[in-house]
Chains A and B, each alone.
Chain A
Amino acid sequence: MRRAAKERNAFSRRAALIGAGQALVFGGIAARLYNLQITNHSKYALMARQNSISERLVAPERGLITDRFGVVLAGNQQHWRALFMKAMAPEPNAVLENFYALVNITSAEKARIARDLAGHPGYIPVLLKDYLDWQDMAAIEVNTPNLPGVIVEVGASRAYPLGPVAAHPVGYVARPNQEEAQANTVLALPGMRIGRAGVENEQDTVLRGVPGFVQTETNVHGVVVREVAQDSGTPGENVTLGLDAGLQQLAVQSLADNTGAVVMLDAVNGEILALASTPSFDPALFDTGVPTAVWNSWMTDPRHPLLNKATCGLFAPGSTFKPTVALAAMKAGTLTADTIHTCPGYLKLGSHVFWCDDHAGHGAINVVTALQVSCDVFFYKVALDTGIDPIAAMAHRMGLATDLKLDLPNAATGLVPTHEWAREHRISWVLGDTVVQGIGQGYTQLTPLQLATMMARIASGNEVQPHITRRIGGVLQPASTTAAPPLNVDDQHLAIVRKGLFEVVNTPNGTGYAARLLLPDVQMAGKTGTAQVHNNTSTQERDNFNDMQLAWAQRPNALFIAYAPFETPRYAIAVVVEHGNYGAQSAAPIAHAMMTYALQHDPAGRDTPLTGPLQTATPAPPVTGT
């Protein structure tokens, strides 16, 4: 018995020791569990979340750009594209290999994909292929199990229903370049575009919107089990332009094969109703990437299709500058309605002869007639009497050669020379320079938009500010609602000039008579311009050389500015046809067509009724003259 008890005790001792050892091990396991589950919980919870939840950003839909009546000028076209989320793929490279076997991808694109994969943060998918066709779609769909992380989604590409017609004012978008994508990761999202020109560029941040996200739960194979959360983001705001698609189309049609620009303004609030520049280009090409051949053809085209000639093209205004000269002279007191200058057909200054357009001469005429028949000698003399600085000051007041703070990028400022400018540029100013300043030649360089602005200001007597954006997100912009401040030019002076412009179009002797409106009870006032771009020899000048015999690039530019209705101005227009010879010949008919359309359809009047301030600015007081 004692031996058995001893044996049992000995065993129990050993078993207890073994049990204690095992208990110790269990304690170790419990401690390890505590370490994993409590101490490091947040770390592993995050890892579990990253395991299963993959978040990716989704590009917002870019806002539309429409004309004033909602005609879409820049919209979004849906297409299918394949994206890749590397975080969802257990073996990204194998997935890419599988994808390349199914869908044809160029080696350059493969290099781009590899670069994006390395560079993008995990929540930004990498674009594999845009514009999938049905064959690609089917191949991807069938092979889904081999393509974890590959997402086929509806993407939007930018579409421009009017194509080249509104390409210059609307602009275009392109894929962000690498630097931009690095600076702002949101731009790295497939489908994100940056506005590169026009309104697309000016209102880029407004149009862009805020990206949304999709959180999906994926299993170990990268197969999406369910969508956990979704935020479609905020689509970009729609931008409504002052443009009227009808007018815009007509402007481009009227310019036809000519190189030139047309700007039509609402003379009351400064809204741009049409802004055409020819030749134009297909803005949609920038969305996908411009083919090299097309790009090269644009770059070598002497007619510069990419240049927005309406806001960036600089032209000598020619005779369209004369109204400003007249106003400057009247303000300076060197000209009144009764001032008479005699035109013998030329002005001799020292040894140099400055010819009038009509070598036979216009005789003794006042300012209204001088405008009507576009007498050069009259304005040579006025310019000589007035001097260039008062002319430049008046030009600036008319919006010429000034920064109009246009809501379009890269608008040119232009130039109306002053003595100070001449000094700064080390130009020795001679009287001859002042003479040609009177007819808008020489150093003067202006944009069609500025000429339209000048026209609107003369017409309304207000400091009209041109702008193209009418509404953002449906909200009427202040520029379209606030009344333009008075121009601070004597109403009598304006009335004299307006009368001259009226006679240009509405009297048989007027240079623009052919362009007169054929509508009942409404008249247009305007001014022709023919600006030489080629220095003819003095012999050619004397012989009244026919410029039409020159090579196209050396022919004079044809200009025409106008406003209507004469009594209650609403529309102001500037037309420039490059190398179109006489303004009356090629520019005035366009203005006629545009103005007729505008008055018949009244795009400006339909949304903003014609009221108030306009009536005080007009009608012009009766002016008596020859």
Chain B
Amino acid sequence: MMLESSLSLRRPFRDRSFGLLHKFLRINWLFVFCVCLLAGVGYAALYSAAGGSPQPYAQGQIIRFAGMLVVMIVIAMTDIRFIAKMSWLAYAAGIVLLLVVMKFGHTGLGAKRWIDLGPIEVQPSELMKLFLAMALANYFKRATPEQTGSLLFVAPAALAILIPVALILKEPNLGTAIITAAIGATVLLGAGVRWWWFAIIIAVMAIAAPVLYTHLHAYQKARITIFLNPGADPLGAGYNIIQSKIALGSGGFFGQGYLHGTQNQLNFLPEKQTDFVFTIIAEEFGYAGSMAVLALLFFMITLAFHTAMTCGHMYGRLVALGVGTNLFMYCFVNLSMVMGLIPVGGVPLPLVSYGGSALTAVMLGFGVLQSVHVHRDVEFTGHTDD
């Protein structure tokens, strides 16, 4: 009943004419501006990472960004009800992709994460986070408080979270698995699932953690060990954390100056253009620069939450909450990792780190978010609100 009759595209909007131009104008352009600004920060950081050159990172990245910006606008003007209808399909496709990547994916840095789709590489786990938020939002979009309080009703949603999380863990990609689980949990929480259930789960997890630890991949164990004591192996895996902290700390308040960060320019951080890109900003622009980027990211999350809270339908609210939380989790995991607060995991800083897959996934998510914003007042059929 829920799936097939939820919306009708043939049905005209009830309240007002809703042409493409109107949709275009309803896009949250402040958010789009922030997105472009963040991409600009990324360009500057990647330009510096290459020692003051648009090659090989910055130029390719900004071209990809421009392409994805168009895709984002297109999605933003796509009817949210269509997107909602596609939610489970997208979820199913995401699961299939995860299974495919397990079988045929590229192995990079000890993990199978990538699928080669012609010119672009796709990391299904990145897409999966968005698809999961959409599927859960669709599942809960008309849930009553009685249903959200029912274990029986919530169980399939929990399963829908656990399947991709398990698959991503198997890749293995601890960072993304945690983010995926956190997004799922946040959407559930936003849907009205009792908070103390999460408390119980977290408590159980805390007890089970030592057991789980023994089943972790060797490199994951190493990361945790090194995180706990980075000085133990200064030139091994702990090297990154130490060099990253040195880069951040040496920045001071105003930084060493653009293109003058020694840690960056002298390659003390390997692969700094990806996960450790924030160190470039922090080293060369100092506390002022890193706080500005932090503020920008937080403002974007706030805008996502604003979209969620001003949306007229539950699907939009939950999807926006999921997208906002995804952005938050990216920032939290990436920055914590860079600052040596949590173990290193392959989580990039969205729109700043070099790499197409994360950019693609993030921009698709922003497109859906803007579709929510544009279509915040549409009505889902069968939704008996008056």
Determine if B249 is an interface residue (Cβ-Cβ < 8 Å).
yes
CB distance B251 to A37 under 8 Å?
Answer: yes
CB distance B386 to A15 under 8 Å?
Answer: no
Determine if A431 is an interface residue (Cβ-Cβ < 8 Å).
no
A378 nearest CB across to chain B (Å): 89
Determine if A3 is an interface residue (Cβ-Cβ < 8 Å).
yes
CB distance B253 to A48 under 8 Å?
Answer: no
What chain B residues lie within 8 Å of A47 (beta carbons)?
246, 249-250
CB distance A37 to B249 under 8 Å?
Answer: yes
CB distance B298 to A38 under 8 Å?
Answer: no
Complex alpha-carbon distance, A10 and B145, angstroms: 10
CB distance A41 to B266 under 8 Å?
Answer: no
What chain A residues lie within 8 Å of B297 (beta carbons)?
26
Contacts A26-B331, A47-B250 aside, 4 further interface pairs with beta carbons under 8 A come to: A8-B312, A22-B332, A29-B332, A51-B246
Determine if A23 is an interface residue (Cβ-Cβ < 8 Å).
yes
Interface residue range, chain A: 35 or more
What chain A residues lie within 8 Å of B309 (beta carbons)?
11-12, 15-16
CB distance B287 to A40 under 8 Å?
Answer: no
Determine if A290 is an interface residue (Cβ-Cβ < 8 Å).
no
Determine if B348 is an interface residue (Cβ-Cβ < 8 Å).
no
Contact of A3 among B268, B328, B339, B385 (CB under 8 A): B385
19 intermolecular pairs with C-beta atoms under 8 Å apart: A1-B385, A4-B312, A8-B317, A11-B190, A15-B317, A15-B321, A16-B309, A32-B339, A33-B248, A37-B252, A38-B253, A40-B249, A43-B249, A44-B246, A45-B249, A49-B250, A51-B262, A52-B266, A220-B267
Determine if A18 is an interface residue (Cβ-Cβ < 8 Å).
yes
CB distance B314 to A14 under 8 Å?
Answer: no
Complex alpha-carbon distance, A52 and B291, angstroms: 26
CB distance B186 to A18 under 8 Å?
Answer: yes
CB distance A218 to B266 under 8 Å?
Answer: yes
Q: Could you say which of B11-19, B73-81, B300-308 contacts chain A?
A: B300-308
CB distance B339 to A30 under 8 Å?
Answer: no
Report if A1-B192 is in contact (Cβ < 8 Å); known contacts: A29-B336, A33-B291, A51-B268: no
CB distance B341 to A32 under 8 Å?
Answer: yes
Determine if A139 is an interface residue (Cβ-Cβ < 8 Å).
no
What chain B residues lie within 8 Å of A353 (beta carbons)?
none
A149 nearest CB across to chain B (Å): 14
Chain A binding surface SS class: helix
Complex alpha-carbon distance, A217 and B302, angstroms: 43
Contact of B252 among A16, A41, A90, A217 (CB under 8 A): A41
CB distance A52 to B248 under 8 Å?
Answer: no
Complex alpha-carbon distance, A37 and B254, angstroms: 10
Interface residues in B267-318 (C-beta closer than 8 Å to A): 267-268, 270, 282-283, 286-287, 290-291, 294, 297-298, 301-302, 305, 308-309, 312, 314, 317
Report if A44-B385 is in contact (Cβ < 8 Å); known contacts: A29-B336, A52-B268: no
CB distance B192 to A10 under 8 Å?
Answer: yes
Contact of B190 among A18, A34, A38 (CB under 8 A): A18
Chain B binding surface SS class: helix
What chain B residues lie within 8 Å of A52 (beta carbons)?
262-263, 266, 268
CB distance A41 to B249 under 8 Å?
Answer: yes
Determine if B335 is an interface residue (Cβ-Cβ < 8 Å).
yes
Report if A34-B287 is in contact (Cβ < 8 Å); known contacts: A18-B321, A90-B235: yes
A174 nearest CB across to chain B (Å): 38
Determine if A36 is an interface residue (Cβ-Cβ < 8 Å).
yes
Determine if B41 is an interface residue (Cβ-Cβ < 8 Å).
no
Complex alpha-carbon distance, A22 and B321, angstroms: 12
**Cβ proximity bits B87-105 to A, threshold 8 Å, 1 near / 0 not:** 0000000000000000000
Q: How many residues on B have C-beta within 8 angstroms of the other chain's C-beta atoms?
A: 51
Cβ-closest chain A residue relative to B301? A22
CB distance B248 to A36 under 8 Å?
Answer: yes
Interface residues in A19-75 (C-beta closer than 8 Å to B): 19, 22-23, 25-26, 29-30, 32-34, 36-38, 40-41, 43-45, 47-49, 51-53
CB distance B282 to A33 under 8 Å?
Answer: yes
B313 nearest CB across to chain A (Å): 9
CB distance A23 to B247 under 8 Å?
Answer: no
Determine if B217 is an interface residue (Cβ-Cβ < 8 Å).
no
Contact of A14 among B190, B246, B325, B339 (CB under 8 A): B190
B188 nearest CB across to chain A (Å): 10
Complex alpha-carbon distance, A19 and B324, angstroms: 9
Determine if A138 is an interface residue (Cβ-Cβ < 8 Å).
no
Report if A4-B253 is in contact (Cβ < 8 Å); known contacts: A14-B190, A15-B305, A33-B291: no
CB distance B266 to A37 under 8 Å?
Answer: no
What chain A residues lie within 8 Å of B251 (beta carbons)?
37, 41
Interface residues in B323-353 (C-beta closer than 8 Å to A): 324-325, 328, 331-332, 335-336, 339, 341
Report if A51-B266 is in contact (Cβ < 8 Å); known contacts: A11-B317, A38-B287: yes
A576 nearest CB across to chain B (Å): 67
What chain A residues lie within 8 Å of B248 (beta carbons)?
33, 36-37, 44
Complex alpha-carbon distance, A289 and B336, angstroms: 58
Determine if B245 is an interface residue (Cβ-Cβ < 8 Å).
yes
Complex alpha-carbon distance, A36 and B250, angstroms: 8
A44 nearest CB across to chain B (Å): 2
Determine if B160 is an interface residue (Cβ-Cβ < 8 Å).
no
CB distance A38 to B252 under 8 Å?
Answer: yes
Complex alpha-carbon distance, A559 and B283, angstroms: 81
What chain A residues lie within 8 Å of B190 (beta carbons)?
11, 14-15, 18
Complex alpha-carbon distance, A37 and B290, angstroms: 10
Complex alpha-carbon distance, A387 and B168, angstroms: 113
Determine if A301 is an interface residue (Cβ-Cβ < 8 Å).
no
What chain A residues lie within 8 Å of B266 (beta carbons)?
51-52, 217-220, 225
What chain A residues lie within 8 Å of B246 (beta carbons)?
44, 47-48, 51
CB distance A33 to B332 under 8 Å?
Answer: no
CB distance A19 to B302 under 8 Å?
Answer: yes
Determine if B189 is an interface residue (Cβ-Cβ < 8 Å).
yes
CB distance B287 to A11 under 8 Å?
Answer: no
What chain A residues lie within 8 Å of B287 (beta carbons)?
33-34, 37-38
What chain B residues lie within 8 Å of A23 (beta carbons)?
298
A2 nearest CB across to chain B (Å): 9
Complex alpha-carbon distance, A4 and B313, angstroms: 9
**Cβ proximity bits B31-42 to A, threshold 8 Å, 1 near / 0 not:** 000000000000
